[in-house]
């Protein structure tokens, strides 16, 4: 049996899903973290699977999340719906419930966050609620794992007996009632043949839902008759069709809540949140505080904690490499294999590996921001600013994730409901410097700007954002005219970050990085080592400038001469960076063979190189994510070319301008 987990954003779906299946999905105090649907087997019920659907407020067909959820319910016809309802916000949550009830699928209502309701003196009469809604209601607290087993038991029972929701009339006799009934009657046969529940189809049709209308494929006569009925209803109750449907649902919910719910008093958490928000989202304080927080995070990551740990790890790896070198020499291993291990694996993978602590530290801070609920505020605060460049506050989430990795960032754009906003955000996320580039910046900053490392880092990040803004402005004037959709989001209460959640995210990122280091980067490293050790006739070269690699790099190098780094080794490093950005470091490390960076770069060309790596094409993984999300390989290719062109132009400008001073 398959159960769908449906509910509003932030109602605790993922928390419940994790408890039901024993998995470790990321739980966030932020709407829109779960975008893909996730499937798991229910603990103790081997033949039952549960699907964590994206959070939605209504079954409209406008955002991707709504469409994913709707299509799943309509096409897959799960054996049961677990409708999770945030009991602290029951009125708003029931709005979705009423639409789910028209789906004609066995449904159980999971009344979540009951711990909070009780703690603040509220009560909910679940028995009465169950009678009024015509479905079983189980009070739970997902976070404390209370009532979850009972919920599973009731769901399995209900699904086995195929008990459908008993109530689908949400309004008393009157114009709305009449209208829904006659529309139901007219479309019944069509709904059946397109496998849609009649009542769902009828209400959605009245709301002018384009997808339902298309599926129903009604005749001219029927359409006229329905239009006539709807207009009649609009006149009789003095509301337009959408308002009439919403009004019907809210009236019903109001009635239900009057009977079943004793409201909790304002919770301590909420009061505290309002107080904190006065500063963190205050008119004058919000942006300075945001800037300060981000600056401290970068400072702590790149100059203090992360850097210290990275140095420590690098020392360890160096020691190990030296010991291995000595041991292999003593053993008298074949020099080519010796070189593979020391110059290839240790120099390449080891060089990249030592940056792990910086990345983990950065994610430690980012996950705290998310978990406390501050990330949601950032979206709210940034909305006004982003609107000026044609984006909405929602775009800030993918962008912040983009500082970690462009792949999930591009995927997170699915939370943007309008196609225009979504595509524009996808094009702009690569300008948010991803964490794989950190090793490059760190290597160069340490070599050329020993004392001002954090400033170089922050400068690069800001520069990326700046160029992103310029590009957004340009795109907004040309291919992406129009306005972003208005931004509505509920701000969750601030809370103390959960250690588990933070550690989990850090672990995920570390795992991800290690996986890349030992797969993609490892292979890239071996390839580079091979190409630079052998020449075209597969003889071992003594001078790497005669190697296969040098030939490829030399072919490209002239194009990079005007931007200040025409050496074949640098061109090669940039090519490997397309596979994975960290490889730029490992390739340079291998090709330099122990020589200092300053033998290849001056301060001037170092800065133009940093700018170039900041802006040039995203890596293969990111490009394939872009291709998937934009739905076209050609557009993805366009992104690669455009980004590289922007990088070249800007790096050229930087190099020429610096030439005036340096
Ligand atoms: P989703 O967006 O619906 O997947 O919701 P999540 O599972 O990510 O949870 C949203 C937030 O609500 C997280 O901060 C959870 O820790 C919190 N939460 C979930 N269940 C409960 C609960 O039963 N009680 C309380 N107090 N908080 C909960
Ligand atoms: Mg979730």
Residue 29 banded pLDDT, cuts 50, 70, 90: low
Instruction: Tell me the pLDDT tens digit for each residue of 95-129.
Output: 999 999 999 999 999 999 999 899 888 899 999 99
Q: In the sheet where 2-7 sits, what is the strand order? A: 38-41, 49-52, 2-7, 80-86, 107-112, 137-139
- Distances from the Cα of 166 to the Cα of 98, 103, 105, 582, angstroms: 12, 12, 11, 58
Mutate to test the pocket of ligand 1, among 20, 27, 496 (most ligand atoms within 8 A of CB): 27
Ligand 1 neighbour 15 (Cβ under 6 A): yes
Cβ neighbours of 63 (radius 10 Å): 22
Sign of the CA dihedral running 549, 552, 558, 559: negative
Residue 184 has pLDDT above 50, yes or no: yes
The protein residue with its alpha carbon nearest to ligand 1, atom 10, reads: 10
- Count the helices and strands in the chain (H runs, E runs): 31, 8
Cβ neighbours of 652 (radius 10 Å): 17
Average pLDDT over residues 354-378: 83
Instruction: Tell me the pLDDT tens digit for each residue of 458-467.
Output: 899 999 999 9
Distance CA 517, CA 351 (A): 10
Instruction: Tell me the pLDDT tens digit for each residue of 280-316.
Output: 988 899 889 988 998 888 788 877 888 788 889 989 9
Q: Given the structure tokens 């600056």, which residue do they identify?
A: 295
Instruction: Tell me the pLDDT tens digit for each residue of 465-517.
Output: 999 999 988 988 888 777 777 666 677 888 888 888 788 878 887 887 788 77
Sign of the CA dihedral running 196, 201, 204, 209: positive
- Say how many Å lie between the CA of residue 53 and the centre of ligand 2: 8
What pLDDT shows up at residue 36? 57
Mean of all residue pLDDT scores within the chain? 87
Ligand 1 neighbour 209 (Cβ under 6 A): no
Ligand 1 neighbour 27 (Cβ under 6 A): yes
Distance CA 252, CA 171 (A): 7
pTM more than 0.85: no
Sign of the CA dihedral running 195, 200, 202, 207: negative
**DSSP designation for 545:** G
Q: Angle of helix 356-372 relative to helix 305-331, nearest 10 degrees? A: 150
Average pLDDT over residues 447-457: 87
Between strands 137-139 and 107-112, the pairing is: parallel
Instruction: Tell me the pLDDT tens digit for each residue of 600-638.
Output: 899 999 999 999 999 999 988 888 888 888 888 899 999
Residues 6+ apart with CB under 8 A from 143: 12, 15, 113, 115
What pLDDT shows up at residue 324? 92
- Distances from the Cα of 8 to the Cα of 25, 69, 378, 511, 532, angstroms: 17, 11, 21, 31, 55
Q: Is 147:139 a contact under the CB 8 Å cutoff?
A: yes
Instruction: Tell me the pLDDT tens digit for each residue of 154-175.
Output: 999 999 999 999 987 888 888 9
Residue 37 banded pLDDT, cuts 50, 70, 90: low
Phi, then psi, of 540 in degrees rounded to 5: -70, 130
Mutate to test the pocket of ligand 1, among 10, 18, 498 (most ligand atoms within 8 A of CB): 10
Kindly identify the ligand whose nearest atom is closest to the C-alpha of 84.
1
């Amino acid at each position: 049996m398959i159960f769908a987990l449906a509910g509003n954003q932030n109602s605790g779906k993922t928390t419940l899903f994790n408890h039901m299946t024993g998995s470790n999905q990321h739980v966030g105090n932020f709407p829109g973290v779960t975008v893909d649907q996730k499937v798991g087997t229910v603990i103790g019920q081997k033949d039952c699977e549960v699907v964590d659907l994206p959070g939605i407020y209504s079954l409209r067909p406008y955002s991707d999340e709504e469409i994913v959820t709707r299509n799943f319910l309509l096409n897959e016809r799960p054996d049961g719906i677990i409708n999770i309802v945030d009991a602290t916000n029951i009125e708003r949550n029931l709005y979705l419930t009423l639409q789910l009830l028209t789906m004609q699928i066995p449904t159980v209502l999971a009344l979540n966050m009951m711990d909070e309701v009780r703690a603040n003196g509220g009560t909910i009469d679940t028995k009465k609620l169950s009678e009024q809604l015509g479905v079983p209601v189980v009070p739970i607290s997902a976070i404390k794992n209370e009532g979850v087993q009972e919920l599973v038991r009731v769901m399995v029972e209900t699904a086995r007996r195929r008990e459908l929701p008993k109530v689908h009339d949400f309004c008393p006799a009157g114009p709305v009632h009449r209208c829904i009934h006659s529309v139901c009657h007219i479309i019944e046969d069509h709904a059946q043949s397109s496998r849609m529940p009649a009542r769902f189809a009828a209400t959605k049709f009245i709301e002018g839902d384009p997808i339902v209308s298309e599926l129903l494929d009604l005749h001219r006569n029927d359409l006229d008759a329905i239009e006539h009925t709807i207009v009649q209803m609009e006149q009789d109750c003095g509301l337009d069709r959408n308002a009439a449907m919403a009004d019907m649902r809210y009236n019903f919910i109001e009635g239900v809540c009057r009977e079943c719910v004793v409201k909790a008093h304002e919770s301590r958490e909420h009061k505290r949140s309002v107080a904190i928000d006065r500063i963190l989202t205050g008119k004058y304080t919000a942006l300075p505080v945001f800037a300060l927080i981000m600056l401290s995070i970068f400072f702590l990551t790149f100059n203090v904690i992360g850097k210290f740990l990275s140095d420590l790890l690098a020392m360890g790896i160096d020691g190990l490499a030296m010991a291995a070198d000595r041991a292999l020499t003593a053993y008298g291993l074949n020099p080519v294999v010796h070189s593979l291990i020391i110059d290839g694996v240790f120099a390449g993978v080891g060089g990249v590996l030592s940056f792990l602590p910086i990345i983990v530290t950065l994610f430690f801070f980012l996950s705290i921001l998310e978990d406390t609920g501050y990330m949601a505020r950032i979206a709210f605060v940034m909305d006004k600013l982003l609107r000026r460049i044609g984006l909405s506050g929602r775009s800030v989430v993918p962008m912040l994730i983009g500082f970690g990795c462009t792949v999930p960032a591009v995927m997170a754009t699915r939370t943007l409901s309008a196609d225009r906003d979504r595509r524009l955000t996808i094009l702009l996320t690569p300008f948010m410097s991803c964490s794989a580039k950190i090793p490059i910046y760190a290597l160069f900053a340490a070599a050329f700007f020993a004392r001002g490392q954090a400033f170089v880092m922050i400068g690069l990040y800001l520069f990326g954002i700046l160029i992103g803004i310029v590009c957004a402005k340009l795109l907004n004037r040309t291919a992406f005219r129009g306005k972003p959709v208005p931004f509505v989001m509920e701000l969750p209460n601030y809370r103390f970050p959960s250690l588990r959640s933070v550690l989990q995210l850090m672990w995920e990122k570390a795992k991800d990085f290690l996986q890349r280091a030992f797969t993609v980067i490892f292979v890239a490293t071996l390839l580079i080592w091979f190409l630079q050790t052998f020449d075209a006739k597969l003889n071992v070269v003594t001078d790497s400038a005669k190697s296969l690699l040098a030939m490829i790099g030399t072919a490209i190098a002239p194009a990079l001469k005007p931007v200040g780094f025409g050496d074949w080794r640098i061109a090669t490093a940039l090519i490997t960076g397309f596979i994975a950005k960290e490889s730029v470091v490992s390739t340079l490390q291998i090709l330099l063979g122990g020589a200092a960076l300053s033998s290849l770069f001056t301060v001037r060309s170092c800065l133009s190189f940093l700018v170039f790596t900041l802006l040039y094409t995203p890596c293969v993984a990111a490009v394939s994510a872009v291709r998937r999300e934009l739905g076209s390989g050609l557009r993805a290719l366009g992104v690669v070319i455009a980004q590289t062109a922007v990088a070249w132009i800007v790096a050229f400008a930087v190099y020429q301008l610096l030439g005036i001073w340096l």
